[in-house]
Chain A
């Protein structure tokens, strides 16, 4: 099992550009999550999904969109990138009924 994978590892965007951060898991987990980690801070929840076709907002959803068309994939879309979105983005997944979330390696995004 590859676990939770994220691409790209690093990305630099210009203000106003858009991009999609990819997340995939091969553990057949129903629940998936996106977090962001700003420098010197803990992770904050952006969006989450309990299954294909079902998504919901977390604590900091503004400026982001998500979709979940398959169990495996949970992409995060940034529209009109802003410097405030400079952060490290983590994807995580969890089996329904389980307690542990499994994290991907993260994507470091810089918006200049």
Chain B
């Protein structure tokens, strides 16, 4: 079974600074998807960024980018120019492709990101 580990229960960063959230995963599959989700206090799950394992290029979405190291099974999220609205729980998630694309997501325990004004 796949596992996702987020080793930082909480991170704090000054507004406008850069922060990196860590995620490692364990899988025997060669093709899969990785995701970062944001969960603000409203508890709505919001997709931040996704990465296809077969793509070597790291995904970017505006101020959000990832460092995907497939051999190391590492998938970190970098948030540049942190804003107060970035404060939330961030979850790393894995989805394999053995179920023909129907597989559910496997989540880490999350990192609580605090933005200091």
Category for how many chain A residues contact B: 20 to 34
Instruction: Answer whether residue B52 sits at the interface, using C-beta atoms and an 8 A cutoff.
Output: yes
Give the shortest distance, in Å, between A99 (CB) and chain B (any CB).
Answer: 5
Binding site for B on A (CB under 8 A): 31, 33, 35, 40-45, 48, 50, 58-59, 88, 90, 92, 96-97, 99-101, 103, 105-106
* Cβ–Cβ contact A105 & B107, under 8 A: no
Instruction: Answer whether residue B87 sits at the interface, using C-beta atoms and an 8 A cutoff.
Output: no
Count of CB-CB pairs between chains A and B under 8 Å? 50
* Cβ–Cβ contact A103 & B107, under 8 A: no
Q: Which residues of chain A have C-beta atoms less than 8 A from B50's C-beta?
A: 99-100
Instruction: Answer whether residue B45 sits at the interface, using C-beta atoms and an 8 A cutoff.
Output: yes
Tell me whether A42 and B101 are in contact in the complex, defined as CB-CB below 8 angstroms, given that A88-B43, A99-B50, A105-B43 are known contacts. no
* Cβ–Cβ contact A100 & B47, under 8 A: yes
Q: Mark B13-33, 1 if CB is under 8 A from A, else 0.
A: 000000000000000000001
* Cβ–Cβ contact B95 & A41, under 8 A: no
Q: Which of B44, B45, B105, B109 is within 8 Å of A41, CB to CB?
A: B109
| A-B contacts, 21 listed (Cβ < 8 Å) | A31-B101, A35-B104, A35-B105, A40-B110, A41-B110, A42-B4, A42-B107, A42-B110, A43-B45, A43-B105, A43-B107, A45-B106, A59-B104, A59-B106, A90-B45, A92-B45, A96-B101, A99-B50, A105-B42, A105-B43, A106-B44
